Amino acid sequence: MAMSALIKSLEDIMRKDAGLNGDAQYIEQITWLLFLKAFDAKEMEWEFRPEYHGVIPEGLRWRDWAADKEGITGDALIAFVDKLFSSLKKMDTSDGDMRKFVVRNVFEDINNYMKSGVYLRQLINRINEKVDFIDATQKHTFNDLYEGMLKDLQSAGRAGEFYTPRPVTNFIVEMIDPKLGETVLDPACGTGGFLTSTIAHIGSVTSTEELEKLQTTINGWEKKPLPYLLAMTNLILHDIEVPRIRHQNSLNRPLSDYSAKDRVDVIVTNPPFGGAEDAAVKQNFPAEFQTSETADLFMALIMNLLKDRGRCGVVLPDGFMFGTEPDSKVKKAIKEKLLKECGLHTIIRLPQVFKPYANVNTNLLFFQKGVTSRGVWFYRLDYPEGVKSFTKTKPMQDKHFDPVREWWADKQPIAVDGFDKARFYTVEELREMNYNFDKCCPFPHVEEEILEPGELIARYQTERTELNANIDRILKKITAKLGDNA
């Protein structure tokens, strides 16, 4: 069913409640309700197992108090919900059932804001009416739901918190090809899109050993409580009973603290861009990587967290490619390391696939630690024939990546209308261009492209700095020649 219509109707109900202020609280309100409903759906499945002990205490399960549309409402409901929250936050985990930890961790940071039991009941009933987690296909609508809500959250744009379009996550996971048993990490997992894509890629597991392996090798870290909650729910729906998602700021730990036991075989991720970290966080990183740009710090983290021969697929903005002042020194250091020690081998340049949330061009970088790169293949994915841009109703689809898949199988240079579309650059060539990757297979400059002022200024400054540097270099040579009277 149309997610945006559902969200609008849920928001219409919530808007009437005096306790809710603004989009951020709407989301929080919906997410815990969805979590409890989804969790109960899972409990119903688990009950078929022998020796199953329930997780959420009787009386507090969704089916007990929420499922019946004529159930408690009004002030009684509000009082009940308060009791529910305090019980869940203090849930007794002495029997060691990890799923109890899950519930407790999830509710640690969550609140009920609604003041009117009547509206809350309306909200619950509407959710029951429209969202059915037993139905397999509904599981996939979960990310759509979050996506719809994120769109309303204007501030999400500022925080760089984006939902990565599924065709992008699917493509990255496909190319990285994680196998069952390999440790997989997304250190900025958001709602868990990359992780669920990995699970889908690995395919159905049959034996209990395999299920155990899957459960213990898929990992995610997420800083914000809302996406953390949704990621947990998402993985639970994907049959990961105790999702290994840590609610933490990946950048808050000194890089040197990480050791072999933390390292993983595969990292697939879309770190937040445009974010700025404070000085304390910067200090966690070695000098050559100290910057306030969040995405760059993540790159330093990722390179550290990979095992030797570990593989990575990551989404980065154009800003990383051309290197924005004054942090371009750090970006340069990262690129140098990617080439020297992390076997950077392919970069796929995407058009604006995050529209209409954000008008940014992004790039997919693929590399492998412990390998020295000979050079990088660049490939520019153009909009399909006849498509000027992706929209909410006509979003990007998996099949739009088919040309890249075809090309990847046997990488050859391609030029279209005199512009490079696919081309191999040696490490030397990249060094000569001062690691300005933006020059490689760029999108031909179309008059219509309107860059955001920030990006426009950054690009101008980078170009100007580069030109000034070139000019100075040439003038230096001229001066030397003038003085050289050998």
391 binds another protein (CB under 8 A): yes
Q: In this complex, which beta carbon is closest to another protein, that of residue 374 or of residue 477?
A: 477
Q: What's the one-letter identity of residue 288?
A: E
Q: Which of residues 218-257 bind another protein (CB under 8 A)?
A: none
Q: In this complex, which beta carbon is closest to another protein, that of residue 52 or of residue 460?
A: 460
Residue from 210, 389, 407, 411 that binds another protein (CB under 8 A)? Answer: 389
456 binds another protein (CB under 8 A): yes
- Binding piece for another protein, criterion CB under 8 A, among 41-49, 83-91, 142-150, 469-477: 469-477
CB 14 within 8 A of CB 26: yes
Q: In this complex, which beta carbon is closest to another protein, that of residue 225 or of residue 395?
A: 395
445 binds another protein (CB under 8 A): no
CB 77 within 8 A of CB 121: yes
Q: In this complex, which beta carbon is closest to another protein, that of residue 134 or of residue 474?
A: 474
Residue from 357, 378, 390, 437 that binds another protein (CB under 8 A)? Answer: 357
Half-sphere CA count of 476, side-chain side, radius 13 A: 6
Give the separation between CA 77 and CA 89, rounded to whole angstroms. Answer: 18
Query: What is the chain's length?
Result: 486
Closest CA to 303 of 318, 316, 317, 322: 316
18 binds another protein (CB under 8 A): no
Q: How many residues bind another protein (CB under 8 A)?
A: 32
392 binds another protein (CB under 8 A): yes
Give the separation between CA 188 and CA 305, rounded to whole angstroms. Answer: 13
Q: Within 10 A of 470 (CB to CB), how many other CB atoms are there?
A: 11
- Binding piece for another protein, criterion CB under 8 A, among 41-49, 131-139, 221-229, 478-486: 478-486
475 binds another protein (CB under 8 A): yes
How far, in whole angstroms, is CA 27 from its chain's centroid?
18
Helices 193-202, 225-237: axis angle to 10 degrees equals: 20
Closest CA to 349 of 410, 409, 299, 423: 423
**DSSP character at residue 299:** H
How do 264-269 and 306-317 pair as beta strands?
parallel
List Cβ neighbours of 162 (8 Å cut-off, separation of 6 or more): 150, 156, 190, 270, 272, 354, 357, 358
CB of 470 to another protein, least distance (A): 5
Reported in sequence order, the residue ranges of 270-345 that DSSP labels E, i.e. its strands, are 306-317
- Mask for 149-178, x = binds another protein (CB under 8 A): --xx-x------------------------
CA–CA distance from 391 to each of 83, 98, 163, 282, 405 (Å)?
Answer: 43, 41, 15, 37, 23
204 binds another protein (CB under 8 A): no
Beta bridge partners of 424: 377
203 binds another protein (CB under 8 A): no
CB of 392 to another protein, least distance (A): 7
Q: In this complex, which beta carbon is closest to another protein, that of residue 304 or of residue 359?
A: 359
- Mask for 361-380, x = binds another protein (CB under 8 A): --------------------
Residue from 359, 382, 424, 431 that binds another protein (CB under 8 A)? Answer: 359
- Binding piece for another protein, criterion CB under 8 A, among 56-64, 286-294, 366-374, 473-481: 473-481
Helical spans, DSSP H, in 90-221: 98-108, 117-130, 136-152, 155-159, 166-176, 193-202, 208-217
452 binds another protein (CB under 8 A): yes
Residue from 86, 216, 256, 468 that binds another protein (CB under 8 A)? Answer: 468
- Binding piece for another protein, criterion CB under 8 A, among 188-196, 256-264, 360-368, 461-469: 461-469
Q: In this complex, which beta carbon is closest to another protein, that of residue 28 or of residue 455?
A: 455
How do 244-247 and 362-368 pair as beta strands?
unpaired
Q: In this complex, which beta carbon is closest to another protein, that of residue 383 or of residue 407?
A: 383
CB of 207 to another protein, least distance (A): 47
Give the separation between CA 262 and CA 248, rounded to whole angstroms. Answer: 15
Residue from 44, 255, 414, 451 that binds another protein (CB under 8 A)? Answer: 451
- Binding piece for another protein, criterion CB under 8 A, among 112-120, 184-192, 327-335, 449-457: 449-457
Dihedral, CA of residue 162, residue 166, residue 168 and residue 169, to nearest 10: 90
111 binds another protein (CB under 8 A): no
Q: Which residues bind another protein (CB under 8 A)?
A: 151-152, 154, 355-357, 359, 389, 391-393, 448, 450-453, 456-457, 460, 463-464, 467-468, 470-471, 474-475, 477-478, 481-482, 485
